[in-house]
Structure 1
């Protein structure tokens, strides 16, 4: 009876705590937990090298809560590397000819078993006051095949490298104490045929909500324009992970960009049942809305509140835009009732120096670069993007095709499609869903037709406001091409577009990929031995067309909505038409840094709104005096006249969507072009022969976001007159104060230089651990031992009859010993009191950690080193207690070289991040034979 009463008392107390916690902290919290993680490589199949993971008798899939190895809550990760997320470990690796061609020859992945598994660990504290709330972990993207643990509890496996995943950890939380998050990432399997990175390369959040809450991505906002006003429908999905039954109120409020309330709605409904979800729809009215469009990307904010007994228990924000989209089979694409020719680019998600772990600011930087080129549309090729990219497109005014990863009709495929659409459908920038790309196995047959029909209808069931497309490249005759809602043509040379249009006159179409040209920035003569492709826009292969040929084709056909060039930026991997040592693509209008190739100015001439005049090539051709150089002008002027050293070489009329060419015999000096409109001079462009490099120049790129912590800096050298030297290849070394460098690049597709300069961290195991019994608990008297009494440590130990102390000896191997290296021994307790000796020298614990020993170079040896540990034994409290038998790990840190990068055809780039408390960042650049430069970033 007493036992029953006691149980009842604690149950009531627990319920009171839950209620109190829920009332004290009822609103939603979304907390970034990107900072302060520990990281180490594991191993693909060797469990010993994978820290003993999955070796336990009860492992994580056997019994709940038995995560072992690094998945165990109390695993000692002190020797692991410290880092912040997002993180891409592939970009940190060197290049190797034996590595993956498609992934940029980085020494990571399945052929590198010791660099294919990455472990991440982080400790967080969750307050007692949070008891009663729903606690979850949200990962925006992990590449790939991740297993997640929380306090030793296995949460799940997620294969996708591109869709996020969320785990409810409420039941596993140690409230008021420390909690451990562990992620094991397996990047051995490639998902695409392009560089994909490795690791937790997108953001991670801790979320806290009331048991009754708006589910993740649980709002869906659509609008319909009526005259000058808009009817807005806001559907909200509410989830109940508690026992509450009864009425709740749903309050929906719309605010404009000035935070002014423009619409309001409220209704009382019944809460969903326990662990159930329900959808609720509200009708709101916005008078004279400001429409989202390319030049004025106006956004609204929907605030959804849930009230219980008059108190707000959840608050969820959704940004959206009001606009109309339409595809017309005769006249192309319309935005807000106005015709818009799609001027798009395809892009992967990596950037020079940092791989796929882009800071948010760099998403804006890249979209701004495309906007400046005149581009108005972006195709996510070939996977769902990071959410911040779509935010940038929403705010800067860039249309988006959002694309799922793989075609199919089963749970794997449709779940990924559903997750992408539900996450992204409130973004006004998205105007089309793509359910596939170049699926050659199925494109032209009945299987592809069936799959497309299913995926298309499935997409419409989730969002019926946008059409569906597929990028097709193996002919435009049957199969997918005959049933897809918006035809996606990949390359003119792959089929007869006009013939397909004549057969399917009610099917709108656009060029989802076009161009596929090769160009090396700053190179104007193809040299296959050096893997250089000329930057002049010429037909790359018989079945592919130049950028100009492609744009003319689509521009001249009103029934085609526009085209998407392959690609906006170069990317790692797929270095067609070459292989090693080329490590990036040649397709981009810009290189991997975002430095423009000359094709940018062709597009800017005919895609943009501003007057343009650009000459190519540069005019530094020493040794080629008297030889003919092709000179091209990209311009939207009506006429262009070319001069060499003030002598006219003729005035030419510009063809619509064309360019102009001259053959010019080289002589040093000034090449000048003058652009005319209506007979009047409107633009002047010059290319001058420069002197030798004299000074380094650092400049902040104008595309940087204002007041940003992350900045992109252009590096170049100038001659004594201050002119940029377009052929310079100086190696520049960088130093930084008040921040850190995230990455360096130069756009050279054959550069095998480091992308990042980080300390090398090696973990060295202690081997051949042996023991013998000590005669006393006084450790200072245990220095004498008998070499004939060593036995294998801990073997057949009788924990009920232990000696007063034990002497342990082991060995560890060091590749080299240097004063520059930092060597630490992270001791794991195998005794109550302990003394440590290295090569006969007693070592004292550090002041910062009683179980960390700093090993000075003077007591270490290259090759074999001995370690002796004298300890009084740990005692078992319970017979089934598992005792630690691992004495610890040796950590060897080799400091990195200084950050550096060679200029490539005159340019390099560094990406920096300001420290949290720094007022400014000071970057210094130096090189042999030229003047240093300093830039201060506030």
Structure 2
């Protein structure tokens, strides 16, 4: 058995200021630069429309001014005002096109074929406190899609090739203390990195880090632990760097606190001598007794405060949240968390959401993870790229395991650098339990190239994070070659039929379903529709390379050598429409749609992934055109037996097979379809009823109180109901939204994979049609304390209003 003991930190997103004796005011700052950017399209094919980029020399001299776009005095007042995170693609219209990859990217006009909407220029003006002269200044970009060239006050500072792994740049030499400081970024999205919707722009946070010149670098703390009984030895590895122009002495130590800030332990104060530009790592230990283990049920997080002192004054300190846990992968018995057997019940997910594309506010990460947990999922695979840091923070806090994945199986200097940055950024997160070195590299995964690349990446992972191991998502059957020869955890993308044979032939290699299922369903649709490109909302349709939910989950659930698996996917996502193309602009793979509304397959997984009492009937019971005709009725439940009734008449009792579902053929007549089930002697009931016509709009906010910080927000889900308050399952009325108060609507959606309505209503007239009874609006908070009011209206229906309290 391989036992991996894990322990974790998260980055802090705001100004760090800890009240310790001797701590200097303004010793360090972490300043958000998200607000007040200017944006303008460039052009990949016409330099005259790209601010002469490619014609004007920008790199022949430092601090290029004249009339170039990187000149701090360049006039950008007519440019569009935006805040980041920003995804410019979500605002573009849908375009029917046969261009390569257009279907995969959701029919948005971005990529090499659309030069006029594939280059974006950003400019940001800000001032710096003169009192900070002599400090170190660092620009931190959490994610820009993609190939971002960055200038600061006219000086070129670097290019970040990756659209998913962020980077930081020391700009201390270029800071202007007497006036504006100007960041200029050219973002080039003409090349894709994936075959799915990726968006474009500065779609994650931007920070200005101000520190002393003796400091802890970004991602310079690594926390891990060894558990013995109820106690743990916590090891804290702290990098310290000297950017002074002279040798410097410092003292380094760390404090561990509980989640409430109570001090539990402290290392000794270790002296360190640093030459100019030297970086060194200090390794220190703290013993903790009666530790609380991080688990799915109780995701307990400790804190490490790492401190650097000079002349008895604190000059830099960082705070890192971490969890203590053990992880075991056993080839015969399965997966264990803290010594307890756990079947991995995971979902794969891309990083976009209805209405907002890839520029997802932090509160939405918590909303999405919460929906997955409610379904019974315990693990999230970030497919197929480095996740947003705030997603990991949500998983740390809510109790969701994560497979953290490298974008490509490649060992060139560029991709090695990306892999190192990924591991150092994320290795302290309690939620991350497994790395993935890549996904479905068909050309190399089964040959010597793949094997050698995998060995190189695995060596890097082991050096930077010896507390974890790695998998690789291979779309290969019973084949032990290439990557599979060296990967510690064999990942299967589909090919579930070959897992048993592979285990027989390689009994000592743990097995994980990295992509499983891929049933395609359209919420609320029950007949195949090739015109509108819909598929039935039941576990019946899948691509040739995939399987139904019941096919893979029965195998995983009933065989201990399966660690478990990840469904493709938790949420629908933009792009990669299957089995259709246009008019589809998003996938059908999700257990939930792009808004997070459950499909019927949700209740299959929830039946077998939770201990809750589940009894669900589908389809709806509004079939006026089918009176007297047979309708196939599905019941998803984890009860022992179910009896079905139509208008009080029994249609028979059936025993519920584990990890399956029940079906009846029912001749339709309006009224009430009811199921009565028994689970361990407990009686459960569920029903669907024929509704009348729509009469009212209902609106429910995910939370009724938000912080007045300009970043928090809430999701409001809309349903259309009849005179008895029953949701009308085929209602598609147009819904209109009006928000009053200091807040804004940032997106709308309805889960329709063929809808070409706007996600962003740029004229301020927000609206969205319902799709099969539902739609959604996303609100982001302002900065003024007070009440917000969302009015929701539809012609001919009674309106609704949602009140939200905005507070400090």
TM score, norm. by length of structure 2: 0.94
Relative distance call for 1:498 and 1:702 in structure 2 (3 A) is farther
1:733 maps to 736
In 1, Cα distance between the equivalents of 2:68 and 2:629? Answer: 68
2:627 aligned partner:
625
8 A Cα contact 2:214 2:315, kept in partner: yes
Alignment correspondent of 1:85: 84
Contact kept, 8 Å, 2:736 with 2:766, in 1: the verdict is: yes
Give the 3 Å change call, closer, same or farther, for CA 550–264 of structure 1 in structure 2.
same
Alignment pair present for 1:518 and 2:520: yes
Question: Who is 1:540 aligned against?
Answer: 542
Q: Taking CA–CA contacts closer than 8 Å with sequence separation of 6 or more, which of the two structures ends up with the larger relative contact order?
A: 2
Corresponding residue for 2:714?
711
CA contact (8 A) 1:352 1:745 kept: yes
Aligned to 1:688: 689
Mapped partners of 1:452, 1:151: distance in 2: 41
Once the 2 structures are TM-superposed, how far is the Cα of residue 456 of structure 1 from its aligned partner? 1.1
Deviates more, 1:291-300 or 1:440-449: 440-449
Larger Rg: 1
- Following the alignment from structure 1 to structure 2, what is the Cα–Cα distance between the partners of residues 489 and 705? 42
| CA shift in 2, pair 1:73/1:546, >3 Å | same
Deviation string for 1:636-670 (max 9, x for gaps)? Answer: 11111111111111111111111111111110001
* Greater CA drift, 322-331 or 922-931: 922-931
In structure 2, the gaps of 5 or more residues are 1-21
| Number of the residue aligned with 1:751 | 755
- The 8 Å contact of residues 707 and 781 in structure 2, kept in 1 or not, is answered as no
CA distance in structure 2 between the aligned counterparts of 1:610 and 1:235, rounded to whole angstroms: 42
How many angstroms does 1:247 deviate by?
3.2
How many angstroms apart in 2 are the aligned matches of 1:249 and 1:652? 71
Give me the whole-angstrom Cα distance separating, in 2, the residues matched to 1:539 and 1:457. Answer: 41
Equivalents in 1 of 2:448, 2:782: separation in Å?
A: 57
CA contact (8 A) 2:231 2:289 kept: yes
Q: Tell me the alpha carbon deviations over residues 853-894 of structure 1, each in whole angstroms, 9 at most, x when there is no partner.
A: xxxxxxxxxxxxxxxxxxxxxxxxxxxxxxxxxxxxxxxxxx
- CA deviation map 1:905-930 (0-9, x unaligned): 11000001122114122111222221
Match of 1:15 in 2: none
Structure 1 position 700 matched with structure 2 position 701: yes
Residue 916 of structure 1 pairs with residue 779 of structure 2: no
> Counterpart of 2:170?
168
Matched with 1:642 is 644
Deviation at 1:706, TM superposition (A): 8.5
Q: Which moved more, 1:590-599 or 1:521-530?
A: 521-530
Looking at structure 2, the residues matched to 542 and 161 of structure 1 have their Cα atoms a distance apart, in angstroms, of 31
**What is the aligned partner in structure 1 of residue 409 from structure 2?**
407
Q: CA–CA distance in 1 between the matches of 2:724 and 2:599?
A: 25
Distance (whole Å) between structure 2 residues aligned to residue 715 and residue 109 of structure 1 = 34
Alpha-carbon separation, structure 2, partners of 1:909 and 1:605: 26
Q: Are the aligned partners of 2:518 and 2:543 in contact in 1 as well (CA < 8 Å)?
A: no
Q: Indicate which of 488, 491, 503 corresponds to 1:485.
A: 488
Q: Work out the CA distance in 2 between the residues paired with 1:381 and 1:756.
A: 26
The residue number in structure 2 matching 1:471 is 473
Choose from 337, 345, 349 the match for 1:343.
345
Q: In structure 1, how many angstroms separate the alpha carbons of the residues matched to 2:459 and 2:149? A: 32
Alignment of 1:289-438 (within 5 A): 289-438=291-440
Report Cα offsets for 1:499-549 as digits up to 9, x if no partner: 211221111111000001110001111122221100110252454221111
User: 2-side partners of 1:544 and 1:236: how far apart?
Assistant: 46
Cα displacement string for residues 385-441 of structure 1 (whole angstroms, at most 9, x for unaligned residues): 000000000000000000000111221111111110000000111110000111100
SS at match of 1:481: helix
- Matched with 1:723 is 726
Secondary structure in structure 2 of the residue aligned to 1:501: helix
Contact 1:365 1:705 in 2 (8 A): no
Q: Contact 2:24/2:314 (CA < 8 Å) preserved in 1?
A: no
CA distance in 2 between partners of 1:690 and 1:389 (Å): 39
- Provide the secondary structure at the position in 1 that maps to 2:217: strand
Within the alignment, does 1:899 sit opposite 2:766 as a pair?
Answer: yes
Q: Secondary structure at the match of 1:141?
A: coil
Q: Which residue of 2 aligns with 1:60?
A: 58
Quickly say closer, same or farther: Cα 1:925–1:703, change in 2 above 3 A: closer
Partner of 2:558: 556
User: What is residue 75 of structure 2 aligned with on the other side?
Assistant: 76
Q: 1:288 to 1:680 in 2, by over 3 A?
A: closer
| CA distance in 2 between partners of 1:570 and 1:543 (Å) | 18
After superposition, give the CA deviation of every residue in 1:192-222 in whole Å (9 maximum; x if it has no partner): 0000001000000011000000010000001
The alignment covers a number of residue pairs equal to 776
Give me the whole-angstrom Cα distance separating, in 1, the residues matched to 2:321 and 2:23: 28
Q: Secondary structure at the match of 1:444?
A: coil
Q: Quote the offset at 1:69 in angstroms.
A: 2.8
Residue 520 of structure 2 aligns to a residue in which SS?
Answer: coil
Q: Cα 1:246–1:268, aligned 2, differ >3 Å: closer, same or farther?
A: farther
1:451 is matched with 453
Q: CA deviation at 1:702?
A: 6.1
Q: Are the equivalent residues in 2 in contact too, given 1:88–1:357 (CA < 8 A)? A: yes
What is the SS of the residue equivalent to 1:672? strand
8 A Cα contact 1:221 1:234, kept in partner? yes
Preserved contact between residue 477 and residue 499 of structure 2 (Cα < 8 Å)? no
Note if contact 2:638-2:679 (Cα within 8 Å) is conserved in structure 1: no
SS of the residue aligned with 1:640? Answer: strand
Shift of 1:316: 0.7
CA contact (8 A) 2:362 2:712 kept: no
For the residue of structure 1 that corresponds to 2:144, the secondary structure is: coil
Separation in 1 of the partners of 2:274 and 2:407? Answer: 33
SS in structure 1 of the partner of residue 396 of structure 2: helix
User: Is the contact between residue 477 and residue 495 of structure 2 (CA under 8 Å) also seen in structure 1?
Assistant: no
Q: CA deviation at 1:55?
A: 3.5
Q: Distance in 2 between matches of 1:176 and 1:25?
A: 22
The aligned counterpart of 1:778 is none
Q: Which one is further off, 442-451 or 566-575?
A: 442-451
1:931: which partner in 2? 798
C-alpha change, 1:238 and 1:680, in structure 2 (3 Å) is closer
